[in-house]
Amino acid sequence: MSRYLKKEVKALRENLMTCFRERPISNKFFTNLILSIAWLHFLADQEGKTKNPNERRRIIHEFKRRKDALEKGIQYVYEQTDRETTESA
């Protein structure tokens, strides 16, 4: 399962970097997104190291919740910049 989580983190990191390149973003939101991806990296590493199945399930559940939150954050950045563009036009 660890490889699966690491692939998801890699894909999310690439999406996040694309988002940063394409859209202006506030420092506060930038910090939150960077810390979120760092935490996902940590969880993926922990999941690969643990032998306890209950702990592994807990880590995977937390990973999925935080992954969903990060995806929503990235989507929010795109929506906010699109909204600001249409309002200024």
3-state helix, strand, coil in the chain (%, to 5): 90, 0, 10
One-letter amino acid of 58: R
Residue 50 backbone phi and psi in degrees, to 5? -80, 145
CB–CB of 73/36 below 8 Å? yes
Q: pTM score, two decimals?
A: 0.84
One-letter amino acid of 83: R
CB–CB of 27/65 below 8 Å? no
pLDDT, tens digit, for every residue of 73-86?
Answer: 999 998 887 776 66
pLDDT, tens digit, for every residue of 1-37?
Answer: 567 899 999 999 999 999 999 988 888 889 999 999 9
Place 47 in a pLDDT band, splitting at 50, 70 and 90: very high
